[in-house]
Chain A
Amino acid sequence: MSPSTHLTSLFDPHIETKIMKILIVDDEKLARARLKHLVSSLINNPELYEATNGREALFTVNATRPDLVLMDIRMPVMDGLESAMHLSHMENPPSVIFTTAYDQHAVEAFEVNAVDYLLKPIRKERLETALEKIAPISANQIKNVRNDNQMSSSRSHISVQMRGHITIIPVTDIVYFMADNKYVRVRTNAERHFLEDSLVSLEQEFEGKFLRIHRNAIVSIAHIRGMEKQTSGRWHVHLKDINETLEVSRRHTAAVRNWIRG
């Protein structure tokens, strides 16, 4: 098992002391085992990490800062495409190569957007060429892939940047989004975060899960307890687990009331 000549020149310990760190993400143990074996036969003493789904991959990336992520697409909790999208928003994101056994739509989307992917069972030579030209995926590229893939494009989690780390919030935990200058405030039962996004695009993405109650706020339908008229004549929404009320603008009162009744 002699390491490839190209890769030794790239990662020659005499020239550069940095060891290549690679994260393997796949929900199937056998698939991870095979990929680990292939990578070790191509690269001298790589530092290998494993994760079993997209969300775990994000935690591992935070903790270990790998150079490259080999990412499966279909996984429980969070799929590979969404995970890669959260990664692409990081500072100095790792490179990502997707792996898939059979995903017609995804493969078409990768081709169109020039994103590298490997078909399982992966050939050693194919992995070698892919390792030689690794490059980070831009946020735009991965966004286009997700759009072209025709799978549901709404995220299962929201990622928030904090001091170079990413924090992951399940969308089901989010109580409301509120626009605040150029940011969007995210409120869960326990935490508050800031997000660089637009309320309009969030509203479109999570249509059916969140309800517009005001020009500056959309609220999770699952977290609404009820609606009450204040002495000022304005309606306010009450939330299930937090003691906060949100004002409903006149324009949206009818829609919110219909939803609560319906």
Chain B
Amino acid sequence: MIRLLRKRHLLRFKGWGIFFQIFSITVLFSLISGLSFYKNFDSKLPLGLVAFVIFGCLVTLCSFIPLRLLYRPIQKLHLLTATLVTLSIASISSFAVVRLAAEFVPALPSVLATTPWPPENPTSTALFVALMVTIGYCLILQIAVNSRRERMARRKNISNRMKALQGRIRPHFFFNTLNSVASLIRSDPDSAEKAIEDLADVFRVVIKSDRKLVSLAEEVEISKQYMNIEKLRLGERLEVAWHLTEDALNASIPSLTLQPLLENAVYHGIEPALEGGTITIDCNCEEERLHILISNPVSAMPSTRESGNKIALKNIKERLKRQFGGDVRINIRNTLERFNVAIDTPYITIRSTY
């Protein structure tokens, strides 16, 4: 059981979980009390049981409060220590609550006294209650930990698969491009040929599993080919403005840093806009740092498009961090008219492998 009481889950009482736990402990508590009560069956039974349930609820709730307050410090302890501390806090606080209640609520001892056991003595009663709460805790924690573990595992599995899917180019782009090419073959075979060549180059880079360092010039080249394809499809709705300095082009970045961001800019900024707009890309370096700024218009019409889940951005951040350590900044600035992504990395150059 201790194996299951992983400290991460031990004390996470959030949302409805807390009510579920309180309720279950109370039911257990009343059941055990009710059993001994049953032996002494008389006309007071329903009233006594109700009193017990309410009383149990209050006691359990009170014992949760100190745990909730000590949530963070306890979480830092070793697993076994954390378990012991949790259980002792639960029993001590419930003991204290019952003991105090017996002092100040005159009716309580008499309600408790209807049971043959625990005895009328408030201290013994409190001890009994504390024992019940502790046992209840152990059982409930085990159930909660099990179900939470399963849920976490399932969620992690889904999100991993999502990431794997979203890291790649949108399938939508691929099929739309094929459709454009099918149309161009008849009307403009030269453009069709060029589109196929661009598509082949883009896909060669995208399906490559290792994301090595490339020069910004190479990344810009592949991004320009990507934008050519999109321009074929979107026509004059898509305008692109590149501002690149010579030394920035020599900088090294992980492959596919720009293209996914441009894909997002087209998908969220240009496609939903009737009139389209201009995507600007600024790359320059300053004081040994490379600055990249990508900006796209924000559609004024309410978009029916699902808002971005920022997966592309997260992937890029992860890859940049793996490459440059923590020395990477990505800022998103969302104004009324434009959506801007600014990337700031150390400026390094390598001899290109091409």
Chain A interface residues (CB < 8 Å from chain B): 27-31, 33-34, 37, 52-53, 74, 76-79, 82, 101-103, 119-122, 151-152, 156, 171-172
Contact = CB atoms under 8 A, between A and B. Distances in A.
How extensive is the interface on chain B, given as a class? 20 to 34
A33 B187 contact: yes
A257 to B, nearest CB: 27
21 contacts: A27-B271, A28-B180, A30-B183, A30-B184, A31-B176, A34-B179, A74-B172, A74-B271, A76-B272, A77-B301, A79-B304, A102-B172, A102-B174, A119-B175, A120-B176, A120-B178, A121-B175, A121-B179, A121-B183, A122-B179, A156-B301
A77 B274 contact: yes
Secondary structure call for the A interface:
loop
A122 B180 CA distance: 11
B179 A31 contact: yes
Interface string B152-192: 00000000000000000001101110111011101100000
A55 to B, nearest CB: 9
Interface in B6-22: none
Contacts of A74: 172, 271, 305
Given A29-B235, A30-B233, A74-B271, A101 B176 contact: yes
Contacts of A78: 304
A53 B273 CA distance: 11
Contacts of B178: 101, 120-121
Nearest to B177: A101
B249 interface: no
A34 B184 CA distance: 8
A53 B235 CA distance: 15
Nearest to B187: A33
B211 to A, nearest CB: 25
A154 to B, nearest CB: 9
Contacts, number: 73
Contacts of A27: 271
Contact of B306 (A34, A77, A102, A152): A152
Given A28-B179, A31-B179, 18 more contacts: A27-B271, A28-B176, A30-B183, A30-B233, A37-B186, A74-B271, A76-B273, A76-B299, A101-B172, A101-B179, A102-B174, A119-B175, A121-B175, A122-B179, A151-B304, A151-B306, A152-B304, A156-B302
Contacts of B186: 34, 37
A172 B184 CA distance: 38
A20 B272 CA distance: 31
B304 A121 contact: no
Interface string B305-322: 110000000000000000
Contacts of B175: 101-102, 119-121
Most chain B CB within 10 A, of A33, A79, A101, is at A101
B213 interface: no
B250 to A, nearest CB: 37
Nearest to A32: B183
B301 to A, nearest CB: 6
Nearest to A35: B183
Interface string B57-73: 00000000000000000
A29 B191 CA distance: 14
B140 interface: no
Nearest to B301: A77
B126 to A, nearest CB: 44
B180 A172 contact: no
A145 B230 CA distance: 29
A34 B186 CA distance: 9
Across chains A and B, which 9 residue pairs bring their CB atoms closest together, nearest first? A34-B183, A101-B175, A121-B182, A30-B183, A120-B179, A121-B179, A102-B175, A101-B176, A30-B180
